[in-house]
Structure 1
């Protein structure tokens, strides 16, 4: 028996058995925890949406009322819609800017007229005390976007003051605010390009929509 235990084939079978047990355990753990993880993700998204779209704009569950559109750079973007009386009053979605430390993920809310209701940075790797001032927990810098639109803000003004624009830069950190301003402007251009479908208006009915993952498609009279 001792010889069998030291045989290469036995060692291989034993190792394979351990790997199989570990794989099954991990798979089972994932299946058991997946619903909780999904629920937490929905809660986090709902909290972000509530920060960029005031309660007065919505009477629905925005996380459940979503549509997936082709976004910038060929990537898809999930658009969450706020409704009142069945009418879409505002939308919210993520845009990504480039900061000094990497990507800056932003959630922005826009009303039917294309005016910004709110902007929040939800993920970044910027330098503490410098670039991280785009985070609302550090400063209220992002509040400067509220009320802005492509219609009421000239193209040249969509820049930091150092570049001739109207948005403040940070002392010792210009790259991060510059990247956020650029991303928010592109986010407004995204809204302008897809306004009809975002607002669920009849003019977009001829174009098929892709439902957000996890949502059961329901018959509609408009898109």
Structure 2
């Protein structure tokens, strides 16, 4: 998230575990507040099915499903091919900023090769599809946060039953 936007929000951090975040680990979650109302979140997430293994990311989105930003934190993708998910190599990941995720079934939110609207990069399909799927799942999770926010405030961090 650009710092000029990030610093305009109050933040509260939580620990969360949910299958939509790609694995069974506990992830960091930051809920962003504007005028004391929760409006967005930043979530650590994992794309477990990258070509060369798990891809760890941060995804920020408003609760309406609009993506604020997505960034890869770590990966082991093939240099010169799959590593184009990394902002230091390519700006491919920036294409998600401003996009919306309607639902987990959103047909537009997949690679163009599979009938969606997202362009992959040359030489790789598995890596960009893995990142795309992970961003979609994470935004679906973020969209559900307002419904569980009372639970978050009570310190409960296991929400598997709410997201089936």
CA contact (8 A) 2:57 2:72 kept: yes
TM-score (norm 2): 0.79
**What does residue range 4-153 of structure 1 map to in structure 2 within 5 Å?**
50-51=1-2, 54-55=5-6, 57-58=8-9, 60=10, 62=11, 65-72=12-19, 73-97=23-47, 98-151=49-102
SS at match of 2:107: helix
Q: Which has the higher strand share?
A: 2
SS of equivalent to 1:177: helix
How many residues of Structure 1 are paired with residues of Structure 2 in the alignment?
Answer: 153
- TM score, norm. by length of structure 1: 0.60
- Residue of structure 2 equivalent to 1:181: 132
**Higher RCO (Cα < 8 Å, 6 or more apart):** 2
Aligned residues of 1:52 and 1:109 also touching (Cα < 8 A): no
Structure 2 unmatched ranges of 5 or more: 158-164
Q: 1 or 2, which has the higher helix percentage?
A: 1
Give the equivalent residue in structure 1 for 2:155: 209
Once the two structures are TM-superposed, the CA of residue 54 in structure 1 deviates from its matched residue by: 2.0
RMSD of the TM alignment (CA)? 2.7
What SS does structure 1 have at the residue aligned with 2:71? strand
Which has the higher Rg, Structure 1 or Structure 2? 1
CA distance 1:205–1:106, shift in 2 (3 Å): closer
Gaps of 5+ in 1: 1-49, 212-223
